[in-house]
Amino acid sequence: MEIYCSQLGMLIGFSYCMSMNDGLPCRNSIDCWKERLDIVAFLKAKYSDAELKKVFGSLPKTRLDRIMEMIREV
């Protein structure tokens, strides 16, 4: 699967989005991929809570809370 990355200005593959952050997913991955697959379930199945916190932990509190809530609900 490919997607247009607004940060890079080009088409990139899903595998890039899942590994571009020191081997972990891009912090924008939920927003970018949520319309195309169950990205929250994918992230939860593939990464530990610690890894997900590392990826999304630096987001502003309200957005982080929303994402962690989505992950907990899956």
Query: Which residues of the shown chain bind ligand SF4 in the complex (CB under 6 A)?
Result: 3, 5, 7-8, 12, 17, 20, 26, 28-29, 32
Q: Which residues of 11-46 are buried (b: 16+ CB within 10 A; e: fewer)?
A: ebebeebbebeeebbbbebbebbeeeeebbebbbee
Q: Which is nearer to ligand SF4, 7 or 74 (CB)?
A: 7
Q: Which is nearer to ligand SF4, 5 or 68 (CB)?
A: 5
Please report how close the Cβ of residue 36 comes to ligand SF4 at its closest, in angstroms: 11
